[in-house]
Amino acid sequence: MDWYKDFPVLIISDHLGGSNSLGRALDQIKTELEKLDVKVLGANTLEDGRITYFSRPDVGCVLLDWDLCEKTEKSRQKIERLSQEAKERNFKIPLYLLTSRLNVEQIPLTVDSLVHGYIWLSEDTPDFIAGRIMEAVEHYADHLMPPFFKTLVEYAEKFKYAWHTPGHTGGTAFLKSPVGRVLFNFYGENTLRSDLSISVPELGSLMEHSGVLGEAERNSAQAFGADQTYYVTNGTSTANKIILCGRVTPGDLVLVDRNCHKSMMHSLIMTRAVPVYLNPTRNYQGIIGPIPADEFSKASINKRIKDNPLTKGRKLADVKHAVVTNSTYDGVLYHTGQVKDGLKGCTAGLHFDEAWYAYACFHPIYDERYATFDHNGETDTPVLFASQSTHKLLAAFSQASMVHVKDRHVSDPKQKVDPARFNEAFMMHTSTSPQYSIIGSLDVATRMMQDGRGKVLIGDCISEAVAFRKKLYSVEKELAKKKDWFFTCWQPSKGKGKKDFGDTADHDLENQAKYWELDPAQGWHGFDGLSKGYAMLDPIKVTIVAPGINPDGSMAETGIPAALVASFLETDGVVPEKTNIYSFLMLFSMGVTRGKSGSLLAALFEFKRSYDANLPLEQVFPNLTRDYPERYLGMGLKDLADEMHQHYRARNMAKIVKKVYDTLPEPALTPAQAYDAVVRDQVDLLPLSELKGRVAAVMVVPYPPGIPIVMPGERFDAASSVIIDYLSMMEEFDGAFPGFESENHGVEVRRVDGQLRYHVYAVRE
Ligand SMILES: *Cc1c(COP(=O)(O)O)cnc(C)c1O
């Protein structure tokens, strides 16, 4: 494959297009390169060159005219900086200096050490020079292509005409039908030709981790700091099941973050393990914080085992695995070293569910806060697992996920992960017809972040998020002076050393974790039980807070429930990731451009104007007034916000949201036993009024905040009666505000006598 054709050469020289001999020589080089099918980009000044390079990640080689800097010391420094920046963005990029032999001695070592070589414009012939450049681009492009994807593309090209399986044979089957043709045209030929549902020997095997596929996984392991990496083509939902099935057997105890994804509950059912829950903190906004540090200790875990009726008489040694969600859904990150230390001797396996956090290892601001980070002087760690949805925050197709295993610091060789045995669990959950495009995207997602590019890409997300946070901060401050309101961000209000957030330098906020720490001495986060350096807020996960709850947790006189703001933003094409009662989360991921965050700010202003003017709902939410004219016609946006807020306020929603997770319900059955009842039809579908005292057969997860309030097998007991109150409040809210129904997994909504009624499956007793 001629990969180099996709990678233009950038020439930065003021002689370009000039009529002197150097100008003519450059012109000839350009002509020769174009004859070789290499594209050329030109820039006459350093600044222009810099802009071109930064905006064109496909540049495959840079030729930089050293003479551009001969004139002043300042320009010399600029050239040094440009060479350094070019290399920082991509340390494999071939960089050549255009100069004459005479000048070489003046080139400082700092530049010398960065360049690939020199090009003597006046001494060598243009076709010789063009040949050398083309070779460099070819070499660069060839090495840039990651192992699996490269072979996949080559294979698809080679077998263009001799196609065999799968059934659609490179898309040709679709061409035989009208609707099939629409599909073919929409997805394009390459998508279909590279869709190989059979194992092609050239591409290696996912099940055996062999060939270029194995090579790709090993490359990812190296990039993510793991000892073994497994590509998973069915999301982190499956990655979690693979890990649990590979490590846990029936009856084993597993420490499970209560703030866990559904797939963790499914894993517990499949393995028939017995969960011992670790309970995270919440604040008055309903934002979920970390599990307090002291929960990761022998004493606390022993107590939890002793207090749990299902594990009475069991020992710490029965704990085989521990799972922690990192980052949390609200972007709270753990110091993983402190978690590891706390759990020393408590479990053989420690699993961080990093579904939203695959980028951590590529930017130093996240150092010490992800599963595979190598903490200083580590010995005798549990086996570390990370499950990451590559598709969520790196660039890969949906369902692209990875399992990373790190066991280099496990002292007992018998405790290390035997790849062949662990692979049994991997195969149990892997289709024999995996999607090769997903695998290709995992390979590419990895290479995108290697050679220094990841730091730049993630750095860009962080700086975009910081810019947005600062902007919002200053707007709010400005308006507050006039006693006017605006949204705020949930973030440290003062930088370290008591500097105001708005006055802290961007560069510091973008690069230093200390500015984002959840300092126990500061109140902005609203969490108890933190210790120094333990938790940090991820700057790219931006929680925007609307008025409604006072900092002490009481409900303010007026407020704007976030569901309303979210609906408003959605009509503007701005879709929040997650909505809490008075806050919502926006992700500043790699796809976010400056324009996109600008339009978010514009949409927030638009909301404020519409709210302040109490615009008629007919204008703001035409679909809503069309669907429910009796309920909403004649109301304004502010009227609706007021009514919703008063609904929450009268019931003291903020307090209930915080309290609902305080006492975990008593477990009566394991999740697996409760699930058995579901399959055997030994369950009753009950309205909330009849749930008291019964055992939940399913997991109930209200969104917001998206963390289970009841797990299968747990009893709706008196101590946790607030759970039923909470669900009743949601039920009432849904009835009172049609069109703004909350989402509750595990709840069946039925109409009884014309009223919306929540129902939950309980185990028949
Ligand atoms: C999304 C998510 C998963 C599941 O990942 P998929 O790739 O969607 O299957 C697992 N754990 C957590 C914490 C998640 O947020």
Ligand 1 atom at minimal distance to the Cα of residue 401: 7
Residues 421 and 464 occupy one common structural domain: no
Q: Note the helical H segments in 372-452.
A: 390-393, 419-428, 436-449
Locus of tokens 């009856």? 251
Please say which residue of 128, 144, 160 terminates a domain.
Answer: 144
Residue 551: band (very low, low, confident or very high) from pLDDT cuts 50, 70, 90: confident
Q: Which token pair is 525?
A: 């986060």
Q: Count other C-beta atoms under 10 Å from residue 380's C-beta.
A: 12
- Which of 220-224, 240-244, 310-314, 493-497 has the least mean pLDDT? 493-497
Interval between CA 388 and ligand 1 midpoint (Å): 8
Q: Indicate whether 355 belongs to any domain.
A: yes
Task: Report the pLDDT value the prediction gives residue 233, as an integer from 0 to 100.
Answer: 97
Angstrom distance (rounded) from CA 275 to CA 269: 10
Residue 656: band (very low, low, confident or very high) from pLDDT cuts 50, 70, 90: confident
**C-beta separation of 700 from 760 below 8 A:** yes
Residue 311 above 70 pLDDT?
Answer: yes
Please say which residue of 398, 419, 450 terminates a domain.
Answer: 450
Pocket test for ligand 1, best of 389, 429, 703 (most atoms within 8 A of CB): 389
Please say which residue of 106, 126, 144 terminates a domain.
Answer: 144
**C-beta separation of 562 from 355 below 8 A:** no
Residues 277 and 253 occupy one common structural domain: yes
Interval between CA 222 and ligand 1 midpoint (Å): 23
Which secondary-structure segment (H or E) carries 93?
none
Interval between CA 266 and ligand 1 midpoint (Å): 12
Residue 214: band (very low, low, confident or very high) from pLDDT cuts 50, 70, 90: very high
Interval between CA 291 and ligand 1 midpoint (Å): 19
Interval between CA 359 and ligand 1 midpoint (Å): 15
**Protein residue with its CA nearest to atom 15 in ligand 1:** 355
Ligand 1 atom at minimal distance to the Cα of residue 399: 7
Classified as helix, coil or strand, 3 is helix
**Protein residue with its CA nearest to atom 2 in ligand 1:** 355
Q: Count other C-beta atoms under 10 Å from residue 639's C-beta.
A: 14
Whats the size of the chain, residue-wise?
765
Interval between CA 352 and ligand 1 midpoint (Å): 12
Taking CB atoms and a 6 Å cutoff, what residues make up the pocket around ligand 1?
235-237, 240, 261, 263, 325, 353, 355-356, 389, 401
pLDDT, tens only, 539-550: 999 999 999 998
Helix axis angle, 419-428 relative to 235-247, nearest 10°?
130
Ligand 1 atom at minimal distance to the Cα of residue 263: 10
Interval between CA 431 and ligand 1 midpoint (Å): 19
**Protein residue with its CA nearest to atom 5 in ligand 1:** 236
Locus of tokens 């008025």? 547
- Which of 229-233, 283-287, 672-676 has the least mean pLDDT? 283-287
Which secondary-structure segment (H or E) carries 225?
none
Residues 443 and 459 occupy one common structural domain: no
Q: Indicate whether 520 belongs to any domain.
A: yes
Closest by CA to 738, choosing from 761, 754, 722, is 754
Residues 90 and 124 occupy one common structural domain: yes
Residues 206 and 71 occupy one common structural domain: no
Interval between CA 325 and ligand 1 midpoint (Å): 10
Residue 369 above 70 pLDDT?
Answer: yes
Task: Report the pLDDT value the prediction gives residue 633, as an integer from 0 to 100.
Answer: 94
Q: Note the helical H segments in 167-261.
A: 178-187, 189-193, 211-224, 235-247
pLDDT, tens only, 148-182: 999 999 988 877 655 556 778 788 889 999 999 99
Q: What is the CATH number of the domain that holds 119?
A: 3.40.50.2300
Locus of tokens 């009223």? 755
Q: Provide the number of structural domains found in the chain.
A: 4
Q: Count other C-beta atoms under 10 Å from residue 433's C-beta.
A: 13
Classified as helix, coil or strand, 752 is strand
Ligand 1 atom at minimal distance to the Cα of residue 240: 10
Residue 566 above 80 pLDDT?
Answer: yes
Q: Indicate whether 648 belongs to any domain.
A: no
Interval between CA 693 and ligand 1 midpoint (Å): 32
Ligand 1 atom at minimal distance to the Cα of residue 325: 13
Interval between CA 131 and ligand 1 midpoint (Å): 49
Ligand 1 atom at minimal distance to the Cα of residue 392: 7
Angstrom distance (rounded) from CA 494 to CA 473: 12
Locus of tokens 């900092």? 551
Ligand 1 atom at minimal distance to the Cα of residue 239: 9
Q: What is the CATH number of the domain that holds 500?
A: 3.90.1150.10
Cα-Cα-Cα-Cα torsion 338, 392, 487, 334, nearest 10 degrees, comes to: 0
DSSP class of 720: G
Q: Indicate whether 753 belongs to any domain.
A: yes
**Protein residue with its CA nearest to atom 1 in ligand 1:** 355
Residues 533 and 672 occupy one common structural domain: no
Interval between CA 399 and ligand 1 midpoint (Å): 9
Interval between CA 237 and ligand 1 midpoint (Å): 5
Q: Indicate whether 242 belongs to any domain.
A: yes
Residue 403 phi/psi, 5-degree rounding, is -110, 125
Q: Indicate whether 130 belongs to any domain.
A: yes
HEC profile for 439-477?
HHHHHHHHHHHCCCHHHHHHHHHHHHHHHHHHHHHHHHH
Q: Which token pair is 539?
A: 């700057």
pLDDT, tens only, 106-153: 777 888 888 898 998 888 899 999 999 999 999 999 999 999 999 999
DSSP class of 585: E
pLDDT, tens only, 40-50: 999 999 899 99
Residues 615 and 510 occupy one common structural domain: yes
Angstrom distance (rounded) from CA 536 to CA 337: 13
Closest by CA to 282, choosing from 546, 579, 719, 660, is 660
Ligand 1 atom at minimal distance to the Cα of residue 354: 13
Residue type (1 letter), 132: R
Classified as helix, coil or strand, 583 is strand
Pocket test for ligand 1, best of 234, 238, 243, 263 (most atoms within 8 A of CB): 263
Angstrom distance (rounded) from CA 656 to CA 21: 79
Task: Report the pLDDT value the prediction gives residue 609, as an integer from 0 to 100.
Answer: 97
Q: What average pLDDT does this structure show over 549-564? A: 91
Residue 754 phi/psi, 5-degree rounding, is 80, -5
Angstrom distance (rounded) from CA 226 to CA 448: 17
Interval between CA 387 and ligand 1 midpoint (Å): 9
Interval between CA 244 and ligand 1 midpoint (Å): 15
Residue 496: band (very low, low, confident or very high) from pLDDT cuts 50, 70, 90: low
Residues 514 and 434 occupy one common structural domain: no
Residues 392 and 438 occupy one common structural domain: yes
Q: Note the helical H segments in 229-328.
A: 235-247, 262-271, 298-307
Residue 96 above 80 pLDDT?
Answer: yes
What Cα–Cα distance (Å) separates residue 547 from each residue in 36, 48, 109, 211, 554?
A: 62, 45, 57, 56, 12
Beta bridge partners of 353: 325, 387
Pocket test for ligand 1, best of 242, 353, 745 (most atoms within 8 A of CB): 353
Ligand 1 atom at minimal distance to the Cα of residue 398: 7
Classified as helix, coil or strand, 254 is strand
Angstrom distance (rounded) from CA 682 to CA 733: 31
Q: Indicate whether 151 belongs to any domain.
A: no
Angstrom distance (rounded) from CA 691 to CA 677: 16
Residue 251 above 90 pLDDT?
Answer: yes
Residues 621 and 483 occupy one common structural domain: yes
Interval between CA 351 and ligand 1 midpoint (Å): 14
Residue 614 above 90 pLDDT?
Answer: yes
Residues 577 and 689 occupy one common structural domain: no
Ligand 1 atom at minimal distance to the Cα of residue 234: 9
Contacts of residue 79, Cβ cutoff 8 Å, sequence gap at least 6:
46, 64, 66, 68, 69, 111
Interval between CA 760 and ligand 1 midpoint (Å): 24
Task: Report the pLDDT value the prediction gives residue 462, as an integer from 0 to 100.
Answer: 96
Q: What is the CATH number of the domain that holds 387?
A: 3.40.640.10
DSSP class of 391: H
Pocket test for ligand 1, best of 230, 236, 324 (most atoms within 8 A of CB): 236
Pocket test for ligand 1, best of 233, 261, 430 (most atoms within 8 A of CB): 261
Ligand 1 atom at minimal distance to the Cα of residue 238: 9
Task: Report the pLDDT value the prediction gives residue 713, as an integer from 0 to 100.
Answer: 97
Q: Indicate whether 181 belongs to any domain.
A: no
CA 703 to chain centre: 19
**Protein residue with its CA nearest to atom 7 in ligand 1:** 235
Residues 444 and 466 occupy one common structural domain: no
- Please indicate whether residue 349 or residue 592 has the higher confidence score (pLDDT): 349
Give the range of the structural domain holding residue 488, as residue numbers without chain letter: 455-634
Task: Report the pLDDT value the prediction gives residue 70, as an integer from 0 to 100.
Answer: 60
Q: Count other C-beta atoms under 10 Å from residue 167's C-beta.
A: 6
Task: Give the chain's mean pLDDT.
Answer: 92
Angstrom distance (rounded) from CA 721 to CA 728: 11
Residue 374: band (very low, low, confident or very high) from pLDDT cuts 50, 70, 90: very high
**Protein residue with its CA nearest to atom 8 in ligand 1:** 235
Ligand 1 atom at minimal distance to the Cα of residue 391: 7
Q: What average pLDDT does this structure show over 552-565? A: 93
Cα-Cα-Cα-Cα torsion 660, 661, 663, 666, nearest 10 degrees, comes to: 100
- Please indicate whether residue 367 or residue 77 has the higher confidence score (pLDDT): 367
Which secondary-structure segment (H or E) carries 383?
strand 383-388
Q: What average pLDDT does this structure show over 339-350? A: 95
Interval between CA 389 and ligand 1 midpoint (Å): 6
Interval between CA 236 and ligand 1 midpoint (Å): 5
Closest by CA to 291, choosing from 324, 313, 254, 266, is 324
